[in-house]
Chains A and B, each alone.
Chain A
Amino acid sequence: MAEKDKVYKFLSPVGMELPVKTYPLAPRLDKLDGKTIHISITGEPDITIPLEKKLRADYPNVNWTQKKSYMPMPVMLSDEEMKTTDAVILAVCW
């Protein structure tokens, strides 16, 4: 067999993706009024400042909470805070 026809096995350079257990999304809310909804702000004040203002103005019956960072890493809710939080909005992801 000519050298150019010789068959080789070539190895994969691709990294190993670990198996991941996947979960369903959390059940959604039946309504917004009366709920505690947390706004997790991660930068982009041009978007997040008007977002928070509009949410508070247009949905006064929601108990809005907020934690903010100018950085992309969110300031996380504590385990205790998670117990009293019904939903979370995160903006902006980058």
Chain B
Amino acid sequence: MWGQLPYLAKLEKAGIPTALIDFDDQHEMVKQEALAAGVPNIRYIPASRTIPGPEDVDQWLEPMLEMLTRPLTEKEKESGMYTPSQDRILFEGTLDEAQEFYQQTRHVPEPLNAPISVYTDGLPIVLPTEERVREMLKGTSHKPDELIAYQSDRGGRFERRIKKGDPVRFQPRAWTATVEKVAINAVMAGCKPEHLPVVLAIAESGVQTGTTVFNNQWMCLSGPIVKEIGINTGTGMMGPGNPAGMAIGRAYQLMALNLGGAVPGISRMSSIGSPINRVGLCFGECADKLPPGWLGLNEEFGFKKDESVIMVMGSEGGLTGAQFSPGGYRALQKSGHGGMARKLGVKGIPGPHNWLDWILPDIWAGEREGGRAFIMTHEMAYDLYRLGFKSKGEVLEYIWKKSFEPLKKYRDRSWVDLFTNGWLGNEPQSGKPWKELPDDYMVPAAGNRPEESCIIVCGSDEEICYEITATIRGMWGMQPVYSINAWR
């Protein structure tokens, strides 16, 4: 809830009464965050998601104002200490009994109205016996009781500066965790000890799940770790079958539930949810097949080539990438045949041709604005290299320039109302107030900077490029790449 409850708690503690308007389905989250902020009895009233504003306000204006004047109840006058239990041993029994215990569900009422697993993603788990967790902890030199803390200074949400050593507060409940807690979740996900430094680096990200919209959580590994643990970077790298990728992806989702308290319908309100999060998504880049001069993600983000890192993304929006058929792509590049060649005006001329011109700027036409993660096969990356793009940066600059559109069109988008703060501020490129710019002023649909997009090269051969809606650098000021070496 983006700091609203801590703010109201600060006001109440300072003797200023408050009244909060939320929505019906957000009540549980309000209660949880109010407790975490130290004011568990905060007063709130729901607005409607569907009734027009003036009519809606009429319905609750009086009771809302009464929240400021109605005398406090005895419960509302209470102060004290909330001390939740922190038992290390959760269950004692046989393996069969434990599997049943860990798969228990709770009924989550509307807007969900279905059973939801308490400790798992709904599937059976590897049971976290003391012995298995002890074995898992051999994968790191960090002590089991060490609190998960940031390993470097970095940017956080809303330009918040995070300092090395600050404890990680797992969202949405702002809980903390030890190395052992992460190891327990890694065991449950099916990880091996050699995966633990990766899972710890993921934990450092706070394993956020987003709020009300379609938020995808995904991760990309870069550096020697990719080969060390056998991550698939080739055909089907985002699909099933690779034990390391599957288990690490699942560990993210289990940590979101168990370390962050992200329960669907209560504190994880992604409206319809995302299939990407159903089990979890972790893959790796294929650094061996990068064109000359193109850097891996680790070097792009200031790490050395021999350092292992993980990019942890929470991206709102979609995954596209079937704009052209692989055969159509080959026809374009081999001999200038087919529809792609017709569109580009290169009929009968052998490649390389700039295939980006075939998909740009249309990828922003029916999709939301902002950066993209372009996940392309090595052959397609090499075609761009042969056309003169000697670095990823040059490609990103080209993509960004292709995304410019008139302000009149840009205004018709939805999210921009939010990200321009209701058009109250200044347009970043010109520095001029949004409201003073003419309709034909050109605005980049791909974000404020070329580097808000990124390129990941994949080792498979079937020619395709995925685009994941994702602002890689700078969204909310967050930095999404975490060192794995720091957790070895």
Contact = CB atoms under 8 A, between A and B. Distances in A.
B71 interface: yes
A16 B2 CA distance: 21
Contacts of B17: 25-29, 86-88
Given A21-B81, A28-B71, A86-B16, A9 B3 contact: no
Interface string B341-370: 000000000000000000000000000000
Interface string A18-38: 111111111111111000010
A50 B54 contact: yes
Contacts of A26: 11-18
A10 B128 contact: yes
Interface in A1-55: 4-32, 37, 40, 42-51, 54-55
Interface string B111-138: 0000000010000000111110100000
Contact of B72 (A25, A32, A59, A91): A25
A17 B174 CA distance: 8
A9 B131 CA distance: 9
Contacts of A29: 17, 68-69
Contacts, number: 268
A16 to B, nearest CB: 5
Contacts of A18: 174-176
A93 B170 contact: no
Contacts of A13: 90, 119, 128, 181, 184-185, 188, 254, 258-259
Contact of B212 (A46, A51, A85, A94): A94
B129 A72 contact: no
Contacts of B119: 13-14
B65 A32 contact: yes
Nearest to A18: B176
A42 B4 contact: yes
Interface residues of B, number: 104
Interface in B82-112: 82-84, 86-96, 98, 101-102
A94 B43 CA distance: 15
Contact of A10 (B15, B72, B127, B180): B127
Interface string B255-268: 00011110000000
Chain A's interface size range is 35 or more
B156 to A, nearest CB: 13
Contacts of B81: 19-22
Given A11-B133, A23-B79, A72-B4, A85 B16 contact: yes
A4 B258 contact: no
B98 A22 contact: no
Contacts of B387: none
Contacts of B89: 9-12
B127 A91 contact: no
A94 to B, nearest CB: 6
Contacts of B185: 13
A25 B93 contact: no
Contacts of A69: 421-422
Contacts of B71: 28
A8 B93 contact: yes
B276 interface: no
Nearest to B13: A23
Nearest to A49: B53
A30 B69 contact: yes
Given A17-B173, A72-B2, A89-B21, A12 B90 contact: yes
Contacts of A90: 4, 7-8, 18-21
Nearest to A62: B65
A28 B69 CA distance: 5
Nearest to A8: B129
Contact of A16 (B7, B177, B421): B177
Nearest to B189: A13
B19 A87 contact: yes
14 contacts: A6-B95, A9-B89, A11-B89, A17-B173, A20-B36, A21-B80, A25-B41, A27-B15, A28-B69, A42-B4, A50-B53, A50-B57, A72-B4, A82-B14
Given A4-B94, A10-B129, A93-B30, 20 more contacts: A7-B93, A8-B129, A9-B92, A10-B89, A12-B89, A13-B181, A14-B258, A16-B181, A20-B37, A21-B80, A28-B70, A29-B17, A32-B65, A37-B68, A50-B57, A58-B61, A73-B2, A73-B4, A82-B11, A90-B4
Interface of B: 1-5, 7-9, 11-23, 26, 30, 35-44, 47, 52-54, 56-58, 61, 64-65, 68-72, 76-84, 86-96, 98, 101-102, 119, 127-131, 133, 158, 170, 173-178, 180-181, 184-185, 188, 211-212, 254, 258-261, 417-418, 420-422, 424
